[in-house]
Amino acid sequence: MLKIILTVAVIAAVYFFLIKKPAVEKKRRNRAEAEAKKPGLDEDIMVECEKCGTFVSSKEAIIVGGKYYCSKSCAGVK
């Protein structure tokens, strides 16, 4: 009985090891890609709305006169 448990444990360990390794590798690659992307101010950063103080991502923010706004109503445009 103990032998069966040990066998199952070894198989599980090997299986876990084989499954987990590529995932770690992938995560590391994603991080490397993220690091590589970091330089550049046009990336997704949080900016504060000039009017109401809400933080919005720079991609969604509306820029009027060099200032960031969270929405068109804050920016005063239609």
Least Cβ distance, residue 66 to Zn ion (angstroms): 16
Min dist CB 69 to Zn ion, Å, is: 5
| Residue 75: closest CA among 45, 46, 56 | 56
Q: Specify whether the CB–CB gap between 34 and 24 falls below 8 A.
A: no
The CB-of-58 to Zn ion minimum distance in angstroms stands at 14
In the chain, count H helices and then E strands.
Answer: 2, 4
Judged by CB, which is closer to Zn ion: 54, or 58? 54
Q: Which residues bind Zn ion (CB under 5 A)?
A: 49, 51-52, 54, 70, 74
